[in-house]
């Protein structure tokens, strides 16, 4: 036994050394983590994003992240509050009476970050590169409409369209694909669709360091024509998990949380309650909406669709699920969107009205049964949602609870995104979750996409008796050159959709911002995809 | 032994061909279109024209057999095509991300072994003592504790509250501690229980009694006779764990913003990024087969019965 005891004592000593070693490692690591701080005089804004920023090709899409493209590249015009289009790289423009010719006068004081001049030739070179890869950008109606690009003089650029298309300026304001790369940064073969030499734009920031999937550092563009950014450096850390982002923020490794979905809504509420940070919410930027299929099962009936509008308690949803961080939505698009302040009468929350409508539709309460029936069939609706999305799942649960109160059974079908996409295309749903395109795409992108069979919007509207007429109105509004007529066409479209109850708007999405009190100048832009880092200062 | 290793490596060929075919088919039978997924990632409405353009660009409009043949021929030269999502060559992406995951898995493995072996030995030697009960508690806790939760707790206390360690990302060796500990925690608990049971079984064996009767030092009895035999099941588990550590680190990589292969591949699965998924599955098949080969070799080294049987045959 004494040998055993000796052996055990030896093992104990080994274990003690191991544990002490581990503790030492932790302590040394703690010391190590303090190193590498930036000089106190340098103002560094630390921000995070869930995905790598990509190669910053202004003419291409994923993996390029829009907010990062907007740091380096600028557009001819900018989308401002309430959808107003304001001059940017173009200081003015004229539109021919037939709506087919646009002449842009370019600013003369603009340079790319490599010091080269921004002029009409550079604009044409960029337009032509995008058009050469036209198939890729075919989704944008404006690209399909471009017939010709011309350099009138060094600072005048002309765009000729095949047909009139009113949202030209709105689509020019988009972050991609029509922002401007310096001619020297074009690849030798000119095909930007395959890549660029380096990201050189006219924007306020220049990429200075990049570690794929980890970090990107931007510094001020010293050639910038507008007010230069107030901070010296902008560091974008790639943090995929929203809760980790909150911990990094609380540890002061980040000094700005911004965007929609960047952190969970309960984390936002918690940070707000902590009292040591500033918190802000933007104006409505898009809508959380349920599309109700007018071409499938019980939702073919108008009265059933209308009953759904009355049966869902949106106030409770906003308060309980969204922690009061969004506003209840009464209409498909918020009234701050262009052409959308129509004075439509909201469907009020009323279980009694919902029940009365279902009775009128012939869906009767059967004694002893939980759900209504008609001709021996139970009133059951299928709600399809993306299973990994917590908010969509909660929407399903709210829907199931609210509709049960009026005798409607809801079958929740949670699937991954690919399967949900397929259902949208096939119209294989009664109710499906979606977000509208938001600013600056809406209302024209939403209305345009209603004509596309691959869209849930199209499928949901397919059972409407006036679907063909709606499609005609949608086509007419996009080519309309008369502002009054355009407003009238939008009125007809949105009023019809509202009356036909094919959409159940839940709440208006907004960007949120959380930052420490030593940060100033945090604001929101008209477009939900741009972040105004330039105005932010650190005290 | 050499012939055995060569034979095992050659058996990889039909395994990889089989796996590539199955993966190829399963991916295409799963609902969801990579062209639409790409458009969604790019925030482009999936109009019929847009989907057709992307399908053509990605080569998805060709017959399946042509797509597979083309992929297989290129894969032989380690050309796995370009990722649909990032447009970068898949092999380059993998080679860029793999080192980070291998490093993390390696450190986790070291943590696992360094902690679980002494704990397992002590648990067995002090059976039903306080230390054994403590290890049992750790084992049950780890079984009930999801990885992401543990990761957040460690991050919260050690990085945020105590400010001892960095929160996220990669850089110094200090960045390894929290993610590696999170990743290794469930393995530590399993290995401790496994080693404890195996040690107890071996302590009951006649050869232990005989060794003691020969008057050998207890440390020799435990270290050379009991532990060496007790390690066999641990080695088997280790072989499987290496593959799991490499392929299953996605949650830890997400929580700690570790730029590794797990995160990349899970998003590839969700986005129907076929070339990435196919390459990843093949790589993992190679890892599992090779890890098991090492297990077999280690077995032969640890257990003379297997070695001698192999030599006599």
Q: Determine the distance in angstroms separating the CA of B166 from the nearest CA of chain A, rounded to an integer.
A: 6
Task: Tell me, yes or no, whether A257 and A389 share the same domain.
Answer: no
CATH number at residue A321: 3.10.105.10
pLDDT in tens, B19-47: 889 989 988 887 778 888 888 888 787 77
Q: Which string of b and e fits B29-58 if b means at least 16 CB within 10 Å?
A: eeebbbbbbbbbbbbbbbbeebbebbbebb
- How far does the CA of residue B237 sit from the closest CA of chain A (Å)? 23
A–B CB contacts, 8 A cutoff, strictly below: 179
Q: What is residue A36's predicted lDDT score, i.e. its pLDDT? A: 42
Q: What's A18's DSSP letter?
A: H
Neighbours of B313 (CB within 10 A): 5
Considering the domain architecture, whether residues A357 and A428 belong to the same structural domain is answered as yes
Distance CA A340, CA A322 (A): 24
Main-chain dihedrals φ then ψ at residue B224, nearest 5 degrees: -90, -35
B114 and B25 inside one domain: no
Residue A214 and residue B36: Cβ atoms within 8 Å?
Answer: no
Q: Which of residues 70-129 of B touch A (CB under 8 A)?
A: 85-87, 96-97, 114-115, 118, 121-122, 125
User: Is position B253 within any domain?
Assistant: yes
Q: Per-residue confidence of chain A (539 residues) as pLDDT tens digits?
A: 445 455 445 544 544 444 445 444 444 444 444 434 455 588 999 999 999 999 999 999 989 999 999 999 999 999 988 788 999 999 999 999 999 999 999 999 999 999 999 999 999 999 999 999 888 888 888 998 999 999 999 999 999 999 999 999 999 999 999 999 999 999 999 999 989 999 999 999 999 999 999 999 999 999 999 999 999 999 999 999 999 999 999 999 999 999 988 898 889 999 999 999 999 999 888 999 999 999 999 999 999 999 999 999 999 999 999 988 899 999 999 998 999 999 999 999 999 999 999 999 999 999 999 999 999 999 999 999 998 788 899 999 999 999 999 999 999 999 988 788 889 889 999 999 999 988 888 899 899 889 888 889 999 999 999 999 999 999 999 988 888 999 999 999 999 999 999 999 999 999 999 999 999 999 998 888 899 999 999 98
A105, burial (CB in 10 Å: exposed 0-12, middle 13-18, buried 19+): middle
Claim to verify: residue B298 and residue B153 sit in the same structural domain: yes
Final residue belonging to a domain, choices A164, A194, A224: A194
Kindly state whether residue A60 falls inside one of the protein's structural domains.
Answer: no
The answer to whether the beta carbons of residues A177 and A132 sit under 8 Å apart is no
* Per-residue pLDDT reduced to its tens digit, B142-153: 878 888 899 999
* Domain assignment present for B91: no
Q: What is the pLDDT of residue A172?
A: 95
Is residue B92 a part of any domain in this protein? no
Q: Do A38 and A29 contact (CB within 8 A), yes or no? A: no
Pair (B248, B130) in one structural domain: yes
Given B9, B44, B77, which residue is the final one in a domain?
B77
Backbone φ and ψ of B215, nearest 5°: 85, 20
Q: How many Å separate Cα A42 from the centre of its chain?
A: 32
Residue B125 and residue B250 in one domain = yes
Domain limit, last residue, from B24, B43, B77: B77
Residues A418 and B272: beta-carbon distance below 8 Å: yes
* pLDDT at residue B15, rounded to an integer: 86
Q: Flag whether A30 is in a domain.
A: no
Q: Is residue A247 domain-shared with residue A346, that is, in the same domain?
A: no
Angle at B97 between CA B95 and CA B100, to 5 degrees: 115
Percent of chain A at pLDDT exceeding 90:
75
Assess if residue A297 is contained within a domain: yes
Domain boundary residue, one of A194, A218, A248 = A194
| Cα–Cα nearest to B99, from B259, B310, B294 | B259
Q: Based on the structure, what is the number of domains in chain A?
A: 3
B88 to chain A: nearest residue by CA?
A: A63
Span B129-134, mean pLDDT? 92
Q: For residue B203, which of A38, A316, A326, A4 has the smallest C-alpha distance?
A: A4
Q: Which residue of B has its CA nearest to A449?
A: B45
Name the pTM for this structure.
0.84
Task: Name the A residues in 376-405 with CB < 8 Å from any B CB.
Answer: 388
Q: Is the pLDDT of residue B215 over 60?
A: yes
The answer on B198 and B119 residing in a single domain is: yes
Same domain, B150 and B272: yes
Same domain membership, residue A317 and residue A465: yes
* Helix or strand (DSSP H, E) at A170: helix A168-172
A397's tokens = 């649960």
Distance of residue B223 Cα from the nearest chain A Cα, in angstroms: 9
The answer to whether residues A436 and A312 belong to one domain is: yes
Closest Cα to residue A49, out of A260, A198, A209?
A260
**CATH number of the domain residue A261 falls in:** 3.40.190.10
Closest CB from B85, B122, B169 relative to A62: B85
Residues A479 and A389 placed together within one structural domain of the fold = yes
Looking at the domain assignment, is residue B283 inside a domain? yes
Q: Does a structural domain hold residue B233?
A: yes
How many Å lie between the alpha carbon of A250 and the closest alpha carbon of chain B?
Answer: 7
In a domain, A50, yes or no: no
Residue listed under structure tokens 């898949």 = B90
CA of A148, closest CA in chain B: separation in Å?
Answer: 22
Tell me: cis bond preceding A443? Omega within 30 of 0 counts: yes
pLDDT digits (tens, 9 = 90+) for B63-103: 989 999 999 999 889 899 999 888 889 999 999 999 999 99
Reference A173, options A282, A102, A73; nearest CA is A73
Contact between B277 and B28 (Cβ < 8 Å) = no
- pLDDT tens, residue by residue, B153-206: 999 999 999 999 998 888 888 999 999 999 998 889 889 999 999 999 999 899
- The number of folded domains in chain B is 2
DSSP A275: S
In a domain, A54, yes or no: no
B278, B210: one domain: yes
Contact A139 B38 (CB under 8 A): no
- Pairing mode, if any, of strands A286-292 and A431-435? antiparallel
Q: Is there a single domain that holds both residue A121 and residue A215?
A: no
Query: Which domain covers residue B43, as residue numbers?
Result: 1-77
Q: Across the interface, which of B96, B125, B217 has its CB nearest the CB of A8? A: B125
* Final residue belonging to a domain, choices A142, A165, A194: A194
Mark whether A186 and A320 lie in a shared domain: no
Q: Does residue B208 share a domain with residue B105?
A: yes
Query: Residues of B with CB below 8 A from A4's CB?
Result: 218
- Measured between its terminal Cα atoms, the distance across chain A in Å is 70
The single residue listed with the structure tokens 């074009």 is A186
Q: Which residues from A are below 8 Å from B87, CB to CB? A: 60, 63
Helix residue spans in A33-54 (DSSP H): none
Torsion, CA A391, CA A461, CA A79, CA A284, rounded to 10? -40
| Domain-embedded: residue A177 | yes
Nearest of B289, B252, B111 to residue B191 by alpha carbon: B111
B112, B187 contact by CB (below 8 A): yes
Q: How many angstroms separate the CA atoms of A506 and A289, rounded?
A: 6
Together in a domain, B23 and B102:
no
B42 touches chain A (CB under 8 A): yes
**Interface contact A27, partner B, CB < 8 A:** yes
The reply to whether residue A237 touches residue B38, judged by beta carbons under 8 angstroms, is no
SS3 call for B129: coil
My answer on whether A294 and A397 are in the same domain is yes
- Residue A325 sits in the same domain as residue A362: yes
Are B155 and B275 members of one domain? yes
- Indicate whether A35 belongs to any domain: no
- ipTM value of the model? 0.83
Tell me whether residues A247 and B48 touch, CB distance under 8 A.
Answer: no
Please list, in sequence order, all residues whose beta carbon lies within 8 angstroms of the beta carbon of residue A184, skipping any fewer than 6 positions away. Answer: A112, A114, A116, A197, A200
Output the CA–CA distances (angstroms, integers) from residue A116 to A189, A207, B19, B132, B158, in the order listed: 20, 17, 53, 72, 50
Residue B166, domain member (yes or no): yes
Judged by CB atoms closer than 8 Å, whether chains meet at A243 and B152 is answered as yes
Among B96, B68, B94, B15, which residue's Cα sits nearest to residue B285? B15
Q: Are residues B131 and B277 in the same domain?
A: yes
Asked whether the beta carbons of B208 and B226 are under 8 A apart, the reply is yes
Q: What residues make up the domain containing A427?
A: 286-509
Same domain, B104 and B73: no
Question: How high does pLDDT run on average in chain B?
Answer: 87
Is A122 part of any domain? yes
For the record, the structure tokens of A365 come out as: 């309460």
Q: Is residue B87 part of a domain?
A: no
Put simply, whether B213 touches A (Cβ < 8 Å) is no
| H runs (alpha helix) in A347-441 | 351-360, 390-405, 417-426
Say if residue A406 is in the same domain as residue A290.
yes
Q: What is the 3-state secondary structure (H, E, C) of A258-270?
A: EECCCCCHHHHHH
| Tens digits of residue pLDDT in A290-301 | 999 999 999 999
Are A350 and A475 in the same domain? Answer: yes
Residues 6+ apart with CB under 8 A from A494: A331, A332, A333, A340, A342, A344, A443
Give the rounded distance of the alpha carbon of A456 from its chain centre.
18
């Amino acid at each position: 036994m004494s040998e055993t005891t000796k052996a055990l004592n030896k093992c104990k000593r080994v274990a003690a050394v191991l544990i002490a070693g581990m503790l030492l490692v932790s302590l040394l690591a703690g010391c190590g983590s303090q190193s590498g701080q930036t000089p106190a005089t340098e103002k560094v804004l630390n921000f995070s994003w869930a995905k790598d920023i990509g190669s910053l090709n202004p003419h291409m899409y994923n993996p390029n992240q829009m907010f990062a493209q907007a740091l380096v590249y600028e557009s001819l015009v900018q989308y401002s509050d309430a959808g107003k289009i304001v001059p940017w790289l173009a200081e003015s423009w004229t539109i021919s009476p037939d709506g087919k010719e646009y002449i842009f006068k370019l600013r003369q004081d603009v340079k790319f970050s490599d010091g080269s001049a921004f002029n009409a030739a550079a604009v044409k070179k960029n337009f032509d590169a995008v058009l050469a890869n036209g198939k890729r950008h075919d989704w944008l109606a404006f690209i399909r409409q471009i017939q010709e690009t011309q350099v009138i003089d060094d600072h005048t650029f002309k765009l000729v369209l095949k047909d009139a298309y009113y949202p030209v300026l709105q689509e020019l304001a988009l972050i991609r694909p029509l922002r401007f790369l310096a001619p020297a940064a074009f690849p030798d073969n000119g095909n930007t669709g395959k890549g660029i030499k380096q990201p050189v734009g006219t924007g306020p920031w220049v990429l200075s360091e990049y570690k794929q999937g980890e970090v990107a550092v931007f510094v001020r563009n010293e050639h910038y024509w507008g007010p230069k950014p107030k901070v010296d450096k902008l560091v974008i850390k790639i943090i995929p998990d929203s809760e980790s982002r909150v911990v990094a923020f609380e540890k002061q490794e980040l000094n700005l949380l911004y965007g929609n979905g960047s952190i969970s809504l309960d984390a936002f509420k918690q940070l707000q309650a902590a009292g040591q940070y500033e918190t802000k919410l933007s104006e409505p930027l898009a809508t959380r909406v349920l599309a109700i299929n007018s071409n499938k099962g019980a939702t073919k009936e108008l009265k059933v669709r209308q009953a759904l509008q009355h049966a869902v308690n949106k106030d409770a949803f906003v308060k309980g699920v969204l922690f009061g961080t969004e506003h209840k939505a009464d209409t498909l698009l918020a009234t701050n969107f262009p052409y959308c302040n129509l004075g439509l009468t909201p469907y009020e929350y009323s279980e009694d009205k919902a029940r009365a409508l279902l009775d009128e539709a012939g869906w009767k309460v059967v004694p002893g049964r939980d759900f209504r029936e008609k001709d021996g069939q139970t009133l059951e609706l299928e709600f399809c949602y993306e299973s990994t999305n917590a908010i969509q799942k909660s929407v399903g649960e709210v829907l199931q609870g609210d509709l049960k109160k009026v005798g409607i059974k809801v079958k929740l079908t949670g699937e991954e995104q690919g399967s949900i996409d397929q259902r949208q295309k096939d119209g294989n749903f009664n109710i499906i979750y979606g977000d509208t395109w938001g600013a600056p795409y809406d209302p024209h992108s939403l209305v345009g996409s209603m004509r596309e069979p691959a869209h849930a919007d199209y499928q949901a509207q397919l059972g409407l008796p006036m679907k063909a007429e709606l499609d005609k109105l949608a086509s007419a509004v996009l080519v309309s050159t008369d502002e009054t007529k355009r407003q009238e066409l939008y009125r007809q479209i949105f009023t019809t959709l509202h009356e036909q109850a094919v959409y159940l708007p839940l709440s208006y999405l907004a960007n949120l911002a959380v930052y420490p009190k030593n940060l100033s100048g945090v604001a929101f832009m008209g477009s939900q995809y741009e972040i105004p880092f330039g105005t932010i200062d650190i005290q | 032994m050499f012939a055995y290793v060569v034979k095992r490596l050659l058996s990889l060929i039909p395994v990889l061909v089989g796996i590539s075919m199955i993966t190829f088919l399963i991916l295409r039978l799963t609902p969801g279109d990579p062209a639409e997924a790409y458009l969604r990632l790019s925030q482009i409405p999936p109009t019929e024209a847009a989907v057709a353009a992307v399908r053509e660009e990605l080569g998805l409009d060709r017959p399946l057999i042509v797509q597979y043949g083309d992929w297989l021929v290129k894969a032989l030269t380690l050309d796995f095509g370009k990722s649909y999502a990032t447009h970068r060559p898949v092999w380059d992406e993998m080679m860029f991300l793999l080192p980070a995951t291998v490093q993390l898995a390696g450190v986790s493995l070291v943590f696992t072994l360094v902690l679980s072996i002494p704990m397992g030995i002590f648990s067995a030697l002090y059976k039903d003592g306080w230390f054994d009960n403590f290890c049992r508690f750790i084992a049950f806790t780890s079984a009930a504790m999801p990885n992401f939760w543990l990761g957040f707790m460690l991050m919260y206390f050690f990085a945020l509250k105590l400010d001892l360690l960095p929160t996220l990302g990669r850089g110094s060796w200090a960045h390894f501690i929290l993610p590696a500990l999170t990743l290794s925690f469930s393995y530590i608990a399993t290995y401790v229980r496994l080693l404890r049971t195996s040690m107890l079984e071996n302590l009951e064996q006649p050869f232990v009694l005989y060794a003691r009767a020969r008057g050998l030092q207890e440390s020799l009895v435990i270290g050379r006779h009991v532990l060496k035999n007790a390690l066999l099941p641990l080695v088997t588990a280790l072989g499987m764990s290496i593959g799991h550590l490499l392929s299953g680190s996605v949650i830890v990589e997400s929580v700690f913003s570790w730029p590794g292969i797990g995160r990349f591949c899970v998003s590839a699965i969700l986005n129907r990024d076929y070339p990435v998924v196919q390459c990843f599955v093949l790589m993992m098949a190679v890892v599992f087969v090779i890890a098991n080969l090492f297990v077999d070799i280690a077995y032969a080294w640890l257990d003379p019965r297997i070695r001698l049987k192999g030599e006599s045959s």
